[in-house]
Amino acid sequence: MSQSRPSLPASPTEPPIRRKRTDEIVDAIKTTIIEHGLQPGDRLPQERELMEQYQASKGTIREALKSLEVQGLIRTRTGPGGGAFIESMSEGRAMSLLSNFLFAKSMSISDIYALRKVLEPLVAVSAMPNMDEAGYKRLTDIIAIYDHEPADAQERWDQRMAELDFHTVVAEYADNALLAFVCRFLQRLLKELAVCRDIYMQPKPVLRQQGIEYQRQLIEAMKAGDRSRVHKIMTDHMVYAEHAMLDLQAELLGNFIHDPVARGRGEKRRKALS
């Protein structure tokens, strides 16, 4: 007769993690802002009222308000008429905070394009129903900034920034606010990433015909309402742009001597930078 195995002791129940009182108050104030429909410029209750409402000390309330201020959700003013006021966080501030989070991370051009290749086609399709003649004119006006050789270093830099601005304008018309924000953030990263800035500052001529052709085809497909074509054009554009940027990066770092395949490709594809 087989011996029964001893049953394992029941695992002790772990006590729930207790949140800091400050964090609880921060979340409660956020909920109040939403439920009461408070708008930028509206004032929160005074410090004494918040202490009574949340049964918290002055130090705890001040710490909670400081946390909300650091998050960009309120601003505090001292003196007569002072207090804590609802603040509207700008997109630029939100992106700066996110950039600070990523500051110490090792990001590469490939990391950014891994997302751009997926998201930029989606945002272009999302923008189609909202794009009007004024929007299309903005896009064609931007292309005109870089459809010719630059006269000096400043114009060269402006052209390279404008190539990314084309995609920023497309994202402005997207229905999906989160998707548009992420795409604009990736475009901002390409402007700020050190290796990209080094690439953009190179004085050598940059051929852009293929990149411009993709963008003109994109405008035509958007006007025609051809969603699948818009998606494909933008996908091809992003794949091509990634290859161009990686070729330029390799050339900048002097890697072509060790990679004849990349060298040959680089001679053909020093074109689209966005």
Domains in the chain: boundaries: 21-86, 92-268
Predicted confidence at residue 258, as pLDDT, reads 43
What are the Cα distances from residue 74, in Å, to 41, 77, 90, 105, 108?
9, 10, 12, 29, 34
Ramachandran region, residue 254 (left: φ > 0; alpha: ψ -120 to 50; beta: rest): left
pTM exceeds 0.85, yes or no: no
Residue type for 206, please?
V
Q: Which residues of the chain have pLDDT under 50?
A: 1-5, 256-272
User: Both tokens of residue 158?
Assistant: 């402006």
3-state secondary structure of 35: helix
Same fold, 21-86 and 92-268: no
Q: Are 241 and 218 contacting, i.e. CB atoms less than 8 angstroms apart?
A: no
In this predicted structure, what is the pLDDT of residue 271? Answer: 46
The per-residue pLDDT for 77 is: 87
Tokens for 172? 């402005």
- Compute the distance between CA of residue 20 and CA of residue 2 in angstroms, rounded to an integer: 53
Closest by CA to 153, choosing from 116, 223, 204, is 204
Rg (alpha carbons) of the chain, rounded to whole number:
26
Give me the pLDDT at residue 12, please. Answer: 54
**What per-residue confidence (pLDDT) applies to 85?**
92
The answer to whether the CB of 221 falls within 8 A of the CB of 229 is: yes
**CATH for the stretch 92-268:** 1.20.120.530
What's the pLDDT score for residue 8? 52
CATH of 21-86, one of 3.90.79.10, 1.10.10.10, 1.10.10.410, 3.90.25.10: 1.10.10.10
Could you tell me the CA-to-CA distances from 105 to 98, 102, 183 in Å, in that order? 12, 5, 19
